[in-house]
Structure formats: C-alpha cells, structure tokens
Amino acid sequence: MVHPIENLRVVSLQDVAVPRKKVIRRLGYPTDMDKINGEISRILEEEGQKALALLEPRGIYRLLKIASRNEDLITFRDTSFTIMSGRVSQMLSVSDPVVLFMVTIGPALEEEVKLLFERDEMTKAVILDTIGSETADAAADRMHRVVIKQLARAEGYRVTPRFSPGYGDWPVTVQGEFLNASHGDRIGISVNESSLMIPRKSVSAVLGWVRS
C-alpha cells in the first residue's frame, strides 16, 4: 500500500524539455528546419531560448481511494469530490486508487506573451505561446508517464490513460472542485469564474491505478 506521505505530493518538473518538433508541427511549419524561412527559423530559436528562463514547470498529485462507483458516478473517501462522467467511470472501472493531478509552467511565459502582443510582435507572441502550450502538455506527459507511473509500478500497479475536465461528458465546470480536491493552489493554480485555469498553460487530469 502507498505510504501516506505519498498520497499528496508537489513535484518539480524542471527537467521537462521544450518539445521543439511538436512546437514546429503545431505552428504548421515543416519539422525539417532547413525548409523553414530564415527569419522564422531565427525567431523560433530566439523564443525557444527565451522560454528556458520563463518556464517553471511543476505539478501536484493526490491519490484517492474509491468509496463507490457506478456507470456514471464515482465517489471517494475523505473528500466530497465526485466524478460524474460515464466515460471517466468506464476508464476507471477496475481502478483503485485514483490519481488527480495538475501541472503548470507558471505565469512568467504568459506575461511575456501578453507583452509581445501589446507591442504588436505577433509572430514572436504566437511562437512563444505555442512553446508554452506544448511544454505544459509535455509536463503533463511526464507527470503521468514517468512520475506517477514509477510510483504505481513500485506498488505493483500499472496506470490507465488520463482524462481531463472539459472533454467528452466531463464538463469543464468541475475545474474549481478539481482544484480544491487536488490542492492545485499549492503550485500556484487558480480557477476563474469561467472555469478556466490560471495560469492558462496548466493541465488537470485524472487516471487510475490497476493492479498488475
């Protein structure tokens, strides 16, 4: 069984690298840098270097034991948080415990993007914003496929895919409750009245542990 100290943990994700090829692909440029316009290539390099000083990726996870579940609803012990989603319930049908996690790259990159837009440096702004989005996704992948997977494996479990609020039949309006349940405020995340995470370059997700 997981030691209690591991049930809630803040994780530094500073070793997450900017996924350069995914950034370029998302921007619609060829992944072969030799085929990219010289000026665009220069901006990609400059903004990539700038991002290194602005990124502060970190995450938090919480393990929860299931109290009850049916095809549409999962309840947990020691929290009022529930999941009302047929798709999530199906994904977690043989899982226990369940992991809630949140990751963020911090606010600095978004603040720089805002300044670039205000100065009408649109190309730089879009490129840096894309770097932020892809790095946040990379941080979520690392949290899921490295940090949590290794913890699960040490306890004799494998991990399921992950599922985020706002997809399928799990409404984004649960973000505030998700934040409270996962204690995402400990890594600087908040949720506004529109149920959007602040900083925007943040990811929330649930996944399950299945006995190997």
CATH number of 4-211: 3.40.109.40
pLDDT given for residue 81 in this prediction:
96
Residue 202 pLDDT > 80: yes
Q: Which two structure tokens, joined as six digits, stand for 98? A: 């369940």
Angstrom distance (rounded) from CA 188 to CA 166? 21
The DSSP call for residue 97 is S
Number of Cβ within a 10 Å radius of residue 45: 12
Phi-psi region of 165 (alpha: psi -120 to 50; beta: other; left: phi over 0): beta
- DSSP-derived secondary structure for 122-163: HHHHHHHHHHHHHHHHHHHHHIIIIIIHHHHHHTTEEE---B
Q: How confident is the model at residue 29 (pLDDT cuts 50, 70, 90)?
A: confident
Cβ atoms within 10 Å, residue 19: 16
Summarize the confidence of residues 166-173 as an average pLDDT: 96
Per-residue pLDDT band at 34 (split at 50, 70, 90): low
104 closest CA partner among 149, 148, 64, 137: 137
Q: Which helix (H) or strand (E) holds 175?
A: helix 175-182
Per-residue DSSP letters for 81-106? -EEE-HHHHHHTTT--SEEEEEEE--
Q: Is the pLDDT of residue 33 over 80?
A: no
- Lookup: tokens for 10: 């803040």
Delimit the domains of the chain by residue range: 4-211
Tokens of 71: 């095809």
Cα angle value 8/131/145 (rounded, 5°): 35
Computed over every residue of the chain, the mean pLDDT equals 93
Q: Residue 37: pLDDT above 90? A: no
Average pLDDT over residues 158-179: 97
pLDDT the model gives residue 62 = 97
